[in-house]
Each structure stands twice: as structure tokens, then as C-alpha cells.
Amino acid sequence: MPLSGPPKSGSASLSRSLAKFGCVSCREHHLKCDRVTPTCGRCLNARRECRPPGLKIRVTAEHKFKFTKKQKWVKTPRRLIFIDESKTAAQDASSPDSGPDEFDDAAWGFPITASKDSSHQTLLLPGRGPPSRPRSPTDRFLISSPKWPLTNEVEAYLFRHFVEELARWLDLCDPKQTFEIEVPRRAKGCPVLLNAIFALSARHLGQTRNEKYYNDLAGGYNAACLKDLTENTKHQSGWTEDRFAAAIILQVVEEINAGDIPADADDSGHLMGMYGFVNSRSLEPESIRAASFWVGLRQEIYIAVRKGQQVGMNLAYQLVDRSLGTTDDYTWANRAVVHCADVLNFCFGSDRGQLRRWNELDGWNQDWTNGRPDSFDPIFRQDQGSAPFPEIWYHRSCQGRSVIGVQHHLLAKLFLLDHHLNFGSRDRVAANDVQKCIRDRVREICGIGLGNLWSPPGMFTACMAIAAFGEYFRVPQDQREILRILEKTQNDHARPTERVRQKMLRAWGLGPEYHYPQNNSPLDLSIGDND
């Protein structure tokens, strides 16, 4: 049962200080600080030191203190953490009257599970709910042992939200539904994996519901995961399958956080560390490692499209299939994903001027269309007519693999067409024809996303196509509906699209604050609820 809402904030002194001033790092970068302690969200995402504001001492007329120039001061770190390891604190943490029904720190705080190397301990950060009894400053960091099944209702809700709502984002082309079934099972005994699940669920809820409480929770869980990955993956031996899967989940968190960090920041940090892990090991089909590889590849394509760069992932594996023979639907969809990566590597690589390679890729694209199984055909299709996008429905039984396969195939074709426009004939008539082909395929990708709202990644891919090729749309009605897709994706799924919106407005010659009139007929999105 969904919770009615987060508890009210507590009254920690450091929280009051940040609530007024924010951290120094955010102020220096002219960014709005979310004031999460001990590390704010922006500093966490940018991987920089979070410096709290300096204390301001008010000097009164009653007391004036003077120190000589030779006065020696004790050096202390910028941030102090007090851990009460006394028996009294341990007894308080495990006492019956400190359970969730009492609204204590353990029930409404930041329950962050530490790594296996710390003996499966749970670090509880400052509580957000009203304490059931007075606590000392050192009582805010308590050590206790995690329990399964979960006894914290908030954590249980986050866990269920991941399994029921978010795991399907990752299992699009996975017949075993690894992130919905196997990853949650492993998370019972793997703190870093469990925290990754909590971090993604909390961040998604915080953004879609605009609730600071969940965003604060996400920051705490995310910090615990980063701590584990930083400490235990300095060598390749530390990259276990569980940490691999946890890093994949954290990458989704970073994709959601992308709107809060500078556009030129490196947001593929977790993936970079995993490449060595993947490169040094074989990828057994239907393993958690293979499932994570396919999710990581789609994440890399997302980053490459957004930044206009090559896909930074090794594709020289037996698992990667570029053939066009008869196979299952999951493999057929993954072939389209690999093809999209190949096209991006060509368009943004050193061999982008080789016509023969372009012809090879374009030919493969056409062969995939000609040979695709009937299961990749939609159950309903209607050309747009006077509407901006066609209606294209797929059945839920395809679990999104047809949606994501066809969309990535079309996305690859878009980049091939755009490449031909830039390096091919300079004839204006031919260029206009290519631009029309680009617009038609963007419309198709958007139509698939809108027609299958039960598979949110379809909308993510639509936003990718808009980000790369939305500038080719010059009709106001088309532009208006494109902006609505961006807005809906951000509001419903927490995928940041504001930068894409600003990019489109600049490309269309409109001001950054421009808004289309609201008296136009709304975009009908009910078509996406088909079964």
C-alpha cells in the first residue's frame, strides 16, 4: 500500500544551517543546493567535495575575546561524524520501543545498508521524523543489523516499487526478466544491490511526486552505494556480478539526475569502471552479467545520442550477434540495439567519411526490416493524417522488446540519413527529400512511444530522437506536440528533458521562455493503454 507521504522534517542544527545558506560548492557554481547533509545531491552527482557554509559568529558588547598572534589552534577536519558505540546506544537501537510504530530515527531516517566488508551493518543517518525520546548528538549514527523480511515500511515500499514499476525498464530484451526476478532475490543478501534498488525507487518517486523526502532518501542510498563501489572496485577482482548490477541501476539514477548537473559533466562514471570487468570476463548468455551488459549498452547509446559521441563499450563478444538468421524475438531486438551502436560509432568515429561502410550499415538496416519476425509487426497502425504522429500499438505480450527493437532500428536509420545529408549530395531537392525522411521516422518513433505508454522506455527513445533530430520540424503544430512529449516524459517518468526543450527552442528560433498557447486541443494519450 503506497504511503500517504513522508514524515515532517526534524530539527538537526546542521540541517538548519544548510536550509538557510546551502553548501559553499553550489554557491560558487551558481547552483541551487538541495541542502541534503552531509553531502548535497549536486555535489554527490558531480563527485566534488560538499563544503558546508562557514559559521558566522555574532560578537556582542558583553564578551570580547582576544587571542595573541602566537595562539596555537587544533586542526580539525571540515566534517565531523560522531559514532556512539556504547552498549547503551546499541541497546536503544534494538529496544522494542524504538520500532516503526514509535516514529523513531530508524523508521523514518536514511536506512543505508553498508557493504559486505563491514559485516552487513546498517548505518542510520539523521532521522527525519519526531523522535520518541530525546537523543544525544552522538546518538544520530547508530549501528544495527539488517533484517529480512524488511521491517521498515518505507524500504518495503521502495523495494516493491522497483520490482513492480522500474525493473521492466531494464528487462526489455531479457527473457529471464533478470532485474525483476533475480536481482531482487540477490538483493536480500547483498547490501550494495539493495541500496541501489532503494536509491532508484526513491529518486523516481521524489521526482515524479515532487517530494523532497524521497529525494533526500535517494541521496543517502546513492551515497552508500558509491562508497561501496569506490572502496571495493579499485581492482577488477572487486567487480562482482552483484556490484555490476548495482552500478547499472545507479546509472539509471544518474540519468534521472542528469538535469541537475552541468551539461558537459561526465555522467557515465559507473559504466566506465565496469568496462574492465566486462572485458576481462566472458559473457554467458542468460546470466546476470549478460543481462547487465545489454542494459549497459542501451544506457551507453542514450549517452552517445545525447552528447553526439561514440558508444564507449566493447562490442567484440560472442554474445553480440550481428547475423540476420532466424532466432528468438529477444535476440532479434538486441541485434537492432547493437546495430544502433555500430551506426553511432561510425557517424562519430574516424571512418565516418567512408562511403563503403555507410552502404554496409544501410544495407544491414534494410535487411533487418525485411527479415524481422511477424511478432515485430504492430497490432494497429494508422497514419497520422492531419495529426503530428501516427498511431502505432504493440501488444503487451511483447514485453517491450518489439517496441525497443523497432525504435532502435529506426534511430539507427535516422543517423544514417543525417550522415548522408551532411556528407552526401549538395543538391537542394535531394536534401529536402532526406529531411522529409528524417521527419517521417522521428514521427514513427514518437508514435510508437505514445501508442505504448505501458512501456516507458518507448518514450525515452522518442526523446532521444527528438534531441537529435527535432530541429528538422518547422511547423508550429509539430513543434508544440514535440514539446508535449518532452514534458510528459519528464513529469511521468522523471527523465530530464528541459535541456532538450531549450535546445529545440533555440533551433526553432524561439526564446528560452517561450510557451505555446494552451487553447489548442490537447494531445490524446489514451491510446497507450491498450492491452
**pLDDT for 21:** 67
**pLDDT for 73:** 63
DSSP state of 184: H
398 with 375: CB under 8 angstroms? yes
For residue 3, pLDDT beyond 60 = no
26-30, 176-180, 334-338: the lowest-pLDDT one: 26-30
For residue 316, pLDDT beyond 80 = yes
Q: What's the Cα-to-Cα distance from 498 to each of 215, 263, 419, rounded to whole Å?
A: 19, 11, 26
Per-residue confidence band for 323, with pLDDT thresholds at 50, 70 and 90: very high
Per-residue confidence band for 229, with pLDDT thresholds at 50, 70 and 90: confident
DSSP secondary structure, 347-407, as one string: HTSTTTT-HHHHHHHHHHHHHHHHH--GGGS-SEEE--TTSSS-EEE--GGGTTHHHHHHH
**pLDDT for 101:** 37
More reliable by pLDDT, 373 or 515: 373
**pLDDT for 51:** 79
Q: Mark out the alpha helices in 424-526 (DSSP H runs).
A: 428-451, 457-469, 476-493, 498-507
Q: 3-class SS at 112? A: strand
For residue 337, pLDDT beyond 90 = yes
Tens digit of each residue's pLDDT (9 = 90 or more) over 476-520: 999 999 999 999 999 999 999 999 999 999 999 987 777 665 544
Nearest-angstrom CA–CA distance, 250 and 238 = 17
Tens digit of each residue's pLDDT (9 = 90 or more) over 444-464: 999 999 999 999 999 999 999
28-37, 317-326, 382-391: the lowest-pLDDT one: 28-37
**pLDDT for 108:** 33
Per-residue confidence band for 352, with pLDDT thresholds at 50, 70 and 90: confident
Q: State pTM to two decimals.
A: 0.71
Per-residue confidence band for 376, with pLDDT thresholds at 50, 70 and 90: very high
Q: What are phi and psi of 4, to 5 degrees?
A: -70, -25
Of 210, 1, 196, the closest CA to residue 113 belongs to 196
Tens digit of each residue's pLDDT (9 = 90 or more) over 74-129: 655 444 444 444 444 444 444 444 333 333 333 333 333 433 333 333 333 333 43
Would you call 172 exposed, middle or buried from its count of C-beta atoms within 10 A (0-12, 13-18, 19+)?
buried
Q: Provide mean pLDDT across the span 191-197.
A: 95
Greatest mean pLDDT among 42-56, 59-73, 77-91: 42-56
Q: 3-class SS at 125? A: strand
**pLDDT for 462:** 98
More reliable by pLDDT, 61 or 242: 242
- The chain-wide mean pLDDT, for the chain, equals 78
* Strand 122-125 with 142-144, pairing: antiparallel
109-123, 183-197, 210-224, 390-404: the lowest-pLDDT one: 109-123
Scanning the structure block, which residue is given the C-alpha cell 549497459?
Answer: 296
More reliable by pLDDT, 418 or 523: 418
21-35, 127-141, 149-163, 478-492: the lowest-pLDDT one: 127-141
**pLDDT for 113:** 40
Structural domains in the chain, sorted by start: 1-55 (4.10.240.10), 321-531 (no CATH)
Compute how many other C-beta atoms are within 10 angstroms of the C-beta atom of residue 247. 26
Helices (H) and strands (E) in the chain, counts: 20, 5
Q: What's the Cα-to-Cα distance from 76 to each of 68, 80, 84, 125, 141, rounded to whole Å?
A: 20, 8, 19, 22, 20
Greatest mean pLDDT among 5-19, 52-66, 271-285, 465-479: 465-479
For residue 419, pLDDT beyond 80 = yes
Nearest-angstrom CA–CA distance, 498 and 311 = 23
Q: What's the Cα-to-Cα distance from 259 to each of 151, 207, 243, 383, rounded to whole Å?
A: 34, 11, 25, 34
For residue 320, pLDDT beyond 90 = yes
Compute how many other C-beta atoms are within 10 angstroms of the C-beta atom of residue 27. 14
DSSP state of 211: -
Nearest-angstrom CA–CA distance, 392 and 377 = 10
Nearest-angstrom CA–CA distance, 36 and 263 = 22
Per-residue confidence band for 11, with pLDDT thresholds at 50, 70 and 90: very low
177-181, 200-204, 280-284: the lowest-pLDDT one: 280-284
